[in-house]
Chains A and B, each alone.
Chain A
């Protein structure tokens, strides 16, 4: 009898532990940021000398299609475009466009490669290099 109780107790704690593990890791993943928030924001953002939101969004979609993405979603009001590229790997990207001051638009991109956030500046530099060519405008970094 005693032994059965012990087994039940062990199972109980084990399953409890499993559950806690799950909760802890999902919370950590939801709020996970490797880089500092400010650094991440600046590497993912650029400012363009235009106030034309629709044109910026259309250019975003054209650039993404050039880079081999299939668009998942776009919203004119929110100013967002999401897309996925499949080439044995998967890259998901979301671009957000919003007015920045009176005369500029702020573009921010965030992307993930397979199961990991892209927090390295180089892929974003490459993206904006393609994007500024399509915009016929220079991308300014934010301070």
Chain B
């Protein structure tokens, strides 16, 4: 019975509770994140980097949502399966024990914004910064997770692909 009252209250509170203190301020992780998410390219040709970035995002299955080339911006997203084996096993275990069906992660939308900017002396180099995030919906159609994607390896791999694409682009391949 108690659950009936607590559940709506927690949903309402989620809507009204104050904004977390560090939501709009820099913190200790800011610099580290910036390093992980940024790469410098030895060219002043921003357009070339943007074209290469768009093709890498396409290689990775992203669809382009927005672009503003004058400001060096690309925004892309893709929807993918979010099912995790561990959750499926847990759900089955709960069902077998008579706990009924529990929702598990089902679909996710991954979003990325990629921003280029002139860097170095006289803008001789171009900096590229990518930030990824995702929203996960469960099998009941509710949002179960919304988070930034921060794994350094993921960014490393993304920028490796971008470096290759810039090279290919430069050589007309």
In A56-74, the 8 Å CB interface with B consists of: 57-58, 61-62, 65-74
Taking CB atoms, residues of chain B closer than 8 Å to A67 are 23-26, 30
> Does any Cβ of B come within 8 Å of A84's Cβ?
yes
Taking CB atoms, residues of chain B closer than 8 Å to A89 are 19-20, 23, 146
Contact residue among B14, B25, B135 (Cβ-Cβ distance under 8 Å from A129):
B25
* Number of residues on chain A facing chain B (CB within 8 A): 39
Mask: chain A, 74-85; 1 = CB below 8 Å from B; 0 = not = 111000000111
> Does any Cβ of B come within 8 Å of A118's Cβ?
yes
Smallest CB–CB gap between B80 and chain A, Å?
16
- Indicate whether A90 sits within 8 Å of B71 (C-beta atoms), given known contacts A65-B37, A67-B25: no
In B27-74, the 8 Å CB interface with A consists of: 30, 33-34, 37, 66, 68, 70-73
**B67 to chain A: closest residue by CB:** A74
Contact B25 A76 (CB under 8 A): no
Classify the interface of chain A: helix, strand, loop or mixed: mixed
**A66 to chain B: closest residue by CB:** B30
Task: Give bound CA distance, A116 to B17, whole Å.
Answer: 9
- Indicate whether A88 sits within 8 Å of B73 (C-beta atoms), given known contacts A58-B117, A70-B132: no
Tell me the B residues contacting A by CB distance below 8 Å.
14-20, 23-26, 30, 33-34, 37, 66, 68, 70-73, 75, 111-113, 115, 117, 129, 131-135, 145-148
16 intermolecular pairs with C-beta atoms under 8 Å apart: A62-B117, A65-B37, A69-B131, A70-B148, A71-B73, A71-B115, A71-B131, A73-B66, A74-B71, A74-B73, A84-B111, A84-B133, A89-B20, A114-B17, A115-B15, A118-B19
Tell me the A residues contacting B by CB distance below 8 Å.
54, 57-58, 61-62, 65-76, 83-91, 111, 113-116, 118, 120, 123-124, 126-127, 129-130
